[in-house]
Structure 1
Amino acid sequence: MLIALDSVDGEALLRWSRRCVDGLVTRCEEINSLNVFPVADSDTGTNLLFTMRAAAEGAEVVGRAASVGAVAAALARGAVAGARGNSGVILSQVLRGIAEVAGDEPLDGRLLRGALNEAAVLATEAISIPVEGTIVTVLRHAAAAADACPHDAALAVVAVEAADAAAEALARTPSQLSVLGAAGVVDAGGLGLLVILDALVGVVTGATPEREDIVVAPVAPATPVVVAQPSACADEPGDQDYEVMYLLSGSDSRRVDTLRSRLGELGDSVIIVGDGEGSWSVHVHCSDPGPAIEAGLAAGRTHDIRISCFVLDEARAGRVRRRAAAADRGVLAIVAGDGAADLFAGEGATVLRCDEPVTPDQLLDAIRALDSGEVLVLPNGALSAPELVTIGVAARDESHEVLLLPSSSMVQGLAALAVHDPGRAAVDDVFAMSEAAATTRWGSLRVATERALTLMGTCEAGDGLGLIGREVVVIAPDPAEAGRRLIDQVLGVGGELLTLLLGAEVPAGFADLLSDHVAAHHPGIEVLIYEGGQSGDLLQLGVE
Structure 2
Amino acid sequence: MLEVGEAVDGTALRRWVDLGLRALAERRDEINSLNVFPVPDGDTGTNLLVTLRSAAAELDTSAADAEDVATIVGALARGAFHGARGNSGVLLAQMLRGLADALDGAVVVDGAALGRAWRHAADLVTRALSCPAEGTIVSVLHAAADGAHAAGRSGSLVTVATAAADAAAEALQRTTAQLDVLAEAGVVDAGGLGLLLLLDAFVETVSGRRPDRAPIATSKPGAPARRGGHNGHEPRHGGDQDFEVMYFVEGSDTARMDTLRTRLDALGDSVAVVGDGAGTWSVHVHCCDAGAAVEAGLEAGRLHQVTVTCFALEAQQRIGVGPVASGAGSRSVLAVVAGDGAAELFEAEGAAIVRADDPITRRHLLDAIRRLGSRDVMVLPNGALPAQELVAVGAAARDHRREVMFLPCSSMVQGLASLAVHDPGREAADDAFAMSEAAAATRWGSLRIANERALTWVGTCEPGHSLGLSGHDVVVIEHDLVTAGASLLDKVLAAGGELVTMLVGFDAPDGLAERLTRHVNDRHPEVEVLVYHGGQRSDLLQLGVE
Note the C-alpha offset of 1:487: 4.6
| 1:194-219 deviation per Cα after TM superposition (whole angstroms, max 9, x unaligned) | 01111111111111224372258999
State how 1:445-460 maps to structure 2 within 5 Å. none
State how 1:45-60 maps to structure 2 within 5 Å. 45-60=45-60
| 1:374-429 deviation per Cα after TM superposition (whole angstroms, max 9, x unaligned) | x9964337x9x99x9698543369xx9999589848xx9xxxxxxxxxxxxxxxxx
| 1:205-248 deviation per Cα after TM superposition (whole angstroms, max 9, x unaligned) | 111224372258999xxxxxxxxxxx9715941x2111111112
Partner of 1:155: 157
Counterpart contact for 2:273–2:283, Cα < 8 Å? yes
Note the C-alpha offset of 1:438: 6.3
- State the alpha-carbon separation in 1 of the partners of residues 421 and 306 from structure 2: 20
Change (3 A) 1:163 1:392: closer
Partner of 2:409: 380
State the SS of the aligned residue for 1:283.
strand
- State the alpha-carbon separation in 1 of the partners of residues 296 and 194 from structure 2: 31
How high is the TM-score relative to the length of structure 1? 0.64
Change (3 A) 1:150 1:240: closer
Q: Which moved more, 1:266-275 or 1:56-65?
A: 56-65
Partner of 1:304: 305
Partner of 2:189: 187
State how 1:276-425 maps to structure 2 within 5 Å. 276-320=277-321, 331=334, 343-344=361-362, 346-348=364-366, 350=369, 369-370=401-402, 378-380=407-409, 393-395=425-427, 404=435, 408=439
Note the C-alpha offset of 1:318: 3.5
Partner of 2:141: 139
- State the alpha-carbon separation in 1 of the partners of residues 110 and 12 from structure 2: 12
Q: Percent of pairs identical after alignment?
A: 44
1:158 is matched by which residue type in structure 2? V
1:394 is matched by which residue type in structure 2? R
- State the alpha-carbon separation in 2 of the partners of residues 25 and 401 from structure 1: 28
| 1:269-320 deviation per Cα after TM superposition (whole angstroms, max 9, x unaligned) | 1001112222211100111222211221221221122221101222233335
Change (3 A) 1:38 1:441: farther
- State the alpha-carbon separation in 2 of the partners of residues 368 and 259 from structure 1: 56
Change (3 A) 1:543 1:289: same
Change (3 A) 1:94 1:369: same
- State the alpha-carbon separation in 1 of the partners of residues 399 and 421 from structure 2: 14
Partner of 1:338: none
- State the alpha-carbon separation in 2 of the partners of residues 402 and 392 from structure 1: 13
Counterpart contact for 1:367–1:395, Cα < 8 Å? no
Change (3 A) 1:235 1:252: closer
Over aligned residue pairs, what C-alpha RMSD do you find? 4.6
Note the C-alpha offset of 1:193: 0.4
Partner of 2:37: 37
If asked which structure has higher relative contact order (CA below 8 Å, sep 6+), I would say: 2
Gaps of 5+ in 2: 222-232, 337-359, 370-378, 449-455, 460-468, 483-537, 541-546
- State the alpha-carbon separation in 1 of the partners of residues 294 and 253 from structure 2: 17
Counterpart contact for 2:98–2:124, Cα < 8 Å? yes
State how 1:160-175 maps to structure 2 within 5 Å. 160-175=162-177
Change (3 A) 1:249 1:332: closer
State the SS of the aligned residue for 1:247.
strand
Structure 2 residue 144 is the aligned partner of structure 1 residue 112:
no
State the SS of the aligned residue for 2:42.
coil
Counterpart contact for 2:267–2:287, Cα < 8 Å? yes
State how 1:174-323 maps to structure 2 within 5 Å. 174-211=176-213, 213-215=215-217, 233-234=235-236, 236-237=238-239, 239-320=240-321
Change (3 A) 1:379 1:488: closer
Note the C-alpha offset of 1:83: 1.0
State the SS of the aligned residue for 2:320.
helix
- State the alpha-carbon separation in 2 of the partners of residues 68 and 95 from structure 1: 12
Counterpart contact for 2:186–2:219, Cα < 8 Å? no
Note the C-alpha offset of 1:346: 3.9
Note the C-alpha offset of 1:63: 2.2
State the SS of the aligned residue for 1:489.
strand
Change (3 A) 1:125 1:232: closer
State the SS of the aligned residue for 2:475.
helix
Note the C-alpha offset of 1:5: 2.1
Change (3 A) 1:259 1:85: same
How high is the TM-score relative to the length of structure 2? 0.64
- State the alpha-carbon separation in 2 of the partners of residues 298 and 214 from structure 1: 44
Q: Which moved more, 1:267-276 or 1:210-219?
A: 210-219
State the SS of the aligned residue for 2:151.
coil
State how 1:476-515 maps to structure 2 within 5 Å. 487-489=473-475
| 1:18-46 deviation per Cα after TM superposition (whole angstroms, max 9, x unaligned) | 22112111111111111111212110001
Counterpart contact for 1:379–1:408, Cα < 8 Å? yes
Instruction: Tell me which structure has the larger Cα radius of gyration.
Output: 1
Partner of 1:19: 19
2:314 is matched by which residue type in structure 1? D
Note the C-alpha offset of 1:15: 2.0
State the SS of the aligned residue for 1:308.
strand
Counterpart contact for 2:113–2:152, Cα < 8 Å? no
Partner of 1:446: none
1:244 is matched by which residue type in structure 2? V
Counterpart contact for 1:378–1:404, Cα < 8 Å? yes
State the SS of the aligned residue for 1:284.
strand
- State the alpha-carbon separation in 2 of the partners of residues 253 and 207 from structure 1: 43
Counterpart contact for 1:378–1:407, Cα < 8 Å? no
Counterpart contact for 1:21–1:53, Cα < 8 Å? yes
Partner of 2:123: 121
Counterpart contact for 2:4–2:207, Cα < 8 Å? yes
Gaps of 5+ in 1: 220-230, 334-341, 413-433, 443-464, 467-472, 475-483, 496-541
Note the C-alpha offset of 1:11: 2.4
Note the C-alpha offset of 1:179: 0.7
- State the alpha-carbon separation in 1 of the partners of residues 432 and 167 from structure 2: 38
- State the alpha-carbon separation in 2 of the partners of residues 389 and 105 from structure 1: 43
Partner of 1:94: 95
Change (3 A) 1:328 1:213: farther
- State the alpha-carbon separation in 1 of the partners of residues 132 and 262 from structure 2: 15
Note the C-alpha offset of 1:3: 6.3
- State the alpha-carbon separation in 1 of the partners of residues 15 and 282 from structure 2: 25
State the SS of the aligned residue for 2:66.
coil
- State the alpha-carbon separation in 2 of the partners of residues 393 and 490 from structure 1: 42
